[in-house]
Structure 1
Amino acid sequence: MMLWLGLALTALFVGTLALSAIGAARWAELVRAHTRTLESARLGARNRLPLAARFDVRELDGLPPPVQGYFRAVLSEGQPIIAAARIAMDGHINLSARAEHWKAFSSRQQVLTRRPGFLWDAEVKLFPGVRVHVEDSYIAGHGSLIAKVFGWFTVARAKGTGEIARGEFMRYVAEAPWYPTALLPSQGVRWEAVDDASAKASIVDGSISLTLLFRFDTAGLITSVHAESRGASVGKDGRMLMLPWDCRLSDYHLQHGMQIPMRGEAAWVRAEGRKVYFVGQLQKLGYEFLSGS
């Protein structure tokens, strides 16, 4: 009896390892295919924006005072304009909308600023020996969220235009302090004054137009990004649940000549209050700058 039980457990263990290895390979190929699509979107947008390769402080003229203070705090005259960013991050994500069901994750992210887009490839440790691969992306005006256990079994899938794409584009803009030259007026962002510590940023990509509220501290650094409405989930009736969305940024450090927040968190604001569901710590940053930089 014990011999057969041992053999069965061994077979189960080996089978799980094989399933995980093959699933990881399948997942990696899926991510590579979507990354190629992301890159092709960049090739199609080469002439989308002016090709000035460096930050010129004169473009700050006329901007709201807190926005001017931000760019002066994080950029130096002549800072090369970021064309792409590579971000490695570790953190925790809450898988429950109401309870506390936090799980650790590690991720790699590719970001392009012309045309705006990103692909976030994460691995979430669901249980010991059980991992979920997650892809979150905004590519050529389309949003996508895919989650597969072992890279095989789909547990979440949403993709397309409309609110899904709008929500993913919001993520791109809210994370722009990690690639701060993307927030410059020369990169298509329009700034509107609110008060001495906040301003609204508006940006358009294709048919999607966004306006988000940015808040700044006394040092000029962005502390939070807020959207009045973002799609949180799909309800039982198939409709997207729209909620206020709030991101906070902190722990700024000098990276490649720029002040970059190394910690970020995201939260939904429900009737009962603000509920954080994502906390990430940057581990590694790499940049590609516009040619001529």
Structure 2
Amino acid sequence: MHWFTGILLFGVAMALAVSGLGVLGARRWAGATRAIHARLDAQRRATGPLRYDPREIDHLPAPVQRYFRAVLTPGQPLVTAVTLSHTGQFNMSSTDEQWKPFTSRQRVVVQRPGFLWDARIAMLPGLPVRVHDSYAGGQGLLRAAVLGLFRVADLQGDGELARGELMRFLAEAAWYPTALLPSQGVQWTAVDGDSANATLTDGALSLTLLFQFDGEGMVRSVFAQARGRMVGRQIDMAPWEGSWSDHRRVDGMTVPFAGEVAWLLPEGRKTYWRGTVTALGYEWSA
């Protein structure tokens, strides 16, 4: 039975080694997270009014007016920042179905636009992949590391990466809806009775997304004609869509608690993120 004892001891040693690496990785990842949060806070600025005045939406397309009247409370303070927690599933493959559970915490600053999605994806028991997806100071960042130590993706900079991250900020603004007001820098143009284009500019970046609204005035989906998609080590442009559901009233606003995100590829729809909000904490202008 000496062989069995040897295998058992080896297994225990490997488990202890992985556990120790996990602790080290968690510490380093937490330090990197704090650094990005500091960048987001350093770029914060106050712009526009402190409270929502319904008169500022009088000139907007009809579906956008219905949206703001349904989700906001007249006179309410504007959202300046929000912290969200999520749980859900993430598809780790760009070609197959390899869904893995994740938990995440996201920090968003409205002015200047920025966010950090800090996720933990359970690849195997005791072997998580940690992910930072961020937009701060006009720069995009996508970083993934096994145990928070061994990087499998590390992209940062401007160009299409930053553009794609700013798209995410705008598409997810249904979580912080006062950020979609004209006074916060979003320009709306009519499309039809159920949709409108929203344009956001940050520094040298300017982009437009199509917002579609349901019969109750809520955001049903957000669409981009082209967004950068990682395929191997390259960025490939493809149509992209986020869908929202399970709208609830929170702190005087109506926001979605469930959603999914997909690439609209020639071979069909490729959903890669399904999530549910488990916690919301807002910061206000006044």
| The one of 93, 111, 125 aligned to 1:114 | 111
- TM value normalised by structure 1: 0.95
Say which SS state the counterpart of residue 225 (structure 2) adopts. strand
Q: Cα deviations across residues 20-71 of structure 1 (Å, max 9, x unaligned)?
A: 11111111111111111111111xx34xx22x11100000111000000000
In 1, are the aligned partners of 2:175 and 2:255 still within 8 Å (CA)? yes
1:273 aligns with 2:273: no
Give distance in 1, aligned partners of 2:127 and 2:223.
34
Q: Residue 283 of structure 2 aligns with which residue?
A: 288
Give distance in 2, aligned partners of 1:206 and 1:5.
59
1:125 aligns with 2:105: no
In 2, are the aligned partners of 1:85 and 1:111 still within 8 Å (CA)? yes
Q: Residue 183 of structure 2 aligns with which residue?
A: 186
Q: How many residue pairs get matched? A: 284
Give distance in 2, aligned partners of 1:234 and 1:279.
20
RMSD: 1.0
1:263 Cα deviation (Å)?
Answer: 0.5
- Runs (4+) of structure 1 exceeding 2 A deviation are none
Give distance in 1, aligned partners of 2:222 and 2:7.
55
Q: Residue 18 of structure 1 aligns with which residue?
A: 20
1:264 aligns with 2:255: no
Q: Residue 35 of structure 1 aligns with which residue?
A: 37
What amino acid is the match of 1:177?
A: A
What amino acid is the match of 1:153?
A: F
Q: Cα deviations across residues 70-123 of structure 1 (Å, max 9, x unaligned)?
A: 000000101210000000000101011121000000000000001000011000
1:103 aligns with 2:100: yes
Q: Cα deviations across residues 243-280 of structure 1 (Å, max 9, x unaligned)?
A: 00000000000011100100011100100122111011
What amino acid is the match of 1:2?
A: F
Give distance in 2, aligned partners of 1:108 and 1:116.
17
1:7 Cα deviation (Å)?
Answer: 1.4
* 1:1-293 equivalence runs, <5 A: 1-42=3-44, 45-46=45-46, 49-50=47-48, 52-234=49-231, 238=234, 240-290=235-285, 293=286
1:171 Cα deviation (Å)?
Answer: 0.2
Say which SS state the counterpart of residue 282 (structure 2) adopts. strand
Say which SS state the counterpart of residue 16 (structure 1) adopts. helix
Say which SS state the counterpart of residue 175 (structure 1) adopts. helix
In 2, are the aligned partners of 1:235 and 1:241 still within 8 Å (CA)? no
Give distance in 2, aligned partners of 1:126 and 1:235.
18
- TM value normalised by structure 2: 0.97
Identity fraction in percent: 49
